[in-house]
A and B are shown apart, each in its own frame.
Chain A
Amino acid sequence: MGFEKFLFYVFAFITLWSSGMVVTRRNPVHAVLFLVLAFVTSAALWILLEAEFLGIVLVLVYVGAVMVLFLFVVMMLDVDMAILRANFTHYLPLGTFITVVMATEIFIVVGSENFGLVAFPAPEAVSMAVDNTRELGLSLYTIYIYPVEIASVILLVAIVAAIRLTLRQRPENKYVSPSNQVHVKRFDRVRLVKMASENSNFETPAKDTRLDDGVTK
Chain B
Amino acid sequence: MIELWNALPLVIQILLKIVIIVLPLLGLVAYYTYAERKVIGYIQVRIGPNRVGWRGWLQPIADAVKLMMKEIIIPTKSDKKLFLMAPMIAIAPALAAWAVFPFSEDFVLADINAGLLYVLAMTSLGVYGIIIAGWSSNSKYALLGAMRSAAQIVAYEIAMGFALVGVLIAAGSLNLGDIVTAQAGSVLTWFWLPLLPLFGVYLISGVAETNRAPFDVAEGESEIVAGFHVEYSGMAFAIFFLAEYANMILVSALTALMFTGGWLSPLPQDWVDGIPILDDGFHWLLIKTFFFMFLFLWFRATFPRYRYDQIMRLGWKVFIPITIVWILVVAIAVIYRLPPWWSA
Interface residues of chain A, those whose CB is within 8 Å of chain B, are 1-3, 6, 29-30, 33, 36, 52-53, 56-57, 59-60, 63-65, 68-69, 71-72, 75-76, 131-134, 175, 178
Chain A CB within 8 A of B282 CB: no
CB distance B150 to A3 under 8 Å? no
A77 to chain B, nearest CB (A): 12
CB distance A65 to B4 under 8 Å? no
9 closest cross-chain pairs (CB), A and B:
A64-B124, A3-B7, A60-B121, A59-B121, A56-B117, A2-B3, A56-B121, A131-B113, A133-B114
A63-B125, A133-B174 given; A52·B4 CB < 8 A: no
CB distance B135 to A29 under 8 Å? yes
CB distance B132 to A33 under 8 Å? yes
Interface residues of chain B, those whose CB is within 8 Å of chain A, are 1, 3-4, 6-7, 10, 82, 112-114, 117-118, 120-121, 124-125, 127-128, 131-132, 135, 143, 146-147, 150-151, 153-154, 157, 174, 309-310, 313
A37 to B6, CA, bound (A): 29
- Which of the residues A2, A29, A30, A68 comes within 8 Å of B127, measured between beta carbons? A68
Q: A63-B121, A178-B313 are in contact. List 14 more A-B contacts (CB 8 A).
A: A2-B3, A6-B4, A30-B82, A56-B121, A57-B121, A60-B124, A63-B125, A68-B127, A71-B131, A72-B147, A75-B147, A133-B174, A134-B113, A178-B310
CB distance A60 to B1 under 8 Å? no
CB distance A52 to B143 under 8 Å? no
- Highest count of chain A CB atoms <10 Å: which of B121, B151, B154: B121
CB nearest to A69 among chain B residues: B154
CB nearest to B122 among chain A residues: A59
Across-interface contacts of B128 in A (CB, < 8 A): 36, 68, 71
A140 to B146, CA, bound (A): 38
- Which of the residues A6, A52, A68, A133 comes within 8 Å of B150, measured between beta carbons? A68
- Which of the residues A3, A52, A72, A178 comes within 8 Å of B131, measured between beta carbons? A72
CB distance A68 to B131 under 8 Å? yes
A79 to B113, CA, bound (A): 44
Across-interface contacts of A33 in B (CB, < 8 A): 82, 132
CB nearest to A181 among chain B residues: B310
B299 to chain A, nearest CB (A): 20
A169 to B9, CA, bound (A): 64
- Which of the residues A63, A75, A131 comes within 8 Å of B124, measured between beta carbons? A63
Across-interface contacts of A132 in B (CB, < 8 A): 113
Q: Is the interface of A mostly helix, strand, loop or mixed?
A: helix
- Which of the residues B121, B131, B174, B309 comes within 8 Å of A64, measured between beta carbons? B121
Across-interface contacts of A57 in B (CB, < 8 A): 117, 121
A19 to B170, CA, bound (A): 40
A68-B131, A133-B113 given; A1·B3 CB < 8 A: yes
Across-interface contacts of A30 in B (CB, < 8 A): 82
A206 to B267, CA, bound (A): 76
A68 to B125, CA, bound (A): 9
- Highest count of chain B CB atoms <10 Å: which of A132, A133, A134, A175: A133
A57 to B121, CA, bound (A): 7
B303 to chain A, nearest CB (A): 16
CB distance A56 to B114 under 8 Å? yes
A1 to B1, CA, bound (A): 6
A130 to chain B, nearest CB (A): 9
CB distance B124 to A175 under 8 Å? no
A1-B3, A1-B4 given; A75·B121 CB < 8 A: no
A63-B125, A65-B154 given; A52·B114 CB < 8 A: yes
Name 7 interchain pairs, CB-CB below 8 A, sorted by A: A52-B112, A57-B117, A60-B121, A64-B127, A65-B157, A71-B128, A72-B151
B181 to chain A, nearest CB (A): 15
A179 to chain B, nearest CB (A): 10
A60-B117, A68-B154 given; A175·B131 CB < 8 A: no
Across-interface contacts of A65 in B (CB, < 8 A): 124, 154, 157
B93 to chain A, nearest CB (A): 10
Across-interface contacts of B121 in A (CB, < 8 A): 56-57, 59-60, 63-64
- Highest count of chain B CB atoms <10 Å: which of A36, A72, A175: A72
CB distance B117 to A75 under 8 Å? no
Across-interface contacts of A131 in B (CB, < 8 A): 113
A75 to B143, CA, bound (A): 9
B219 to chain A, nearest CB (A): 19
Across-interface contacts of A68 in B (CB, < 8 A): 124, 127-128, 131, 150, 153-154
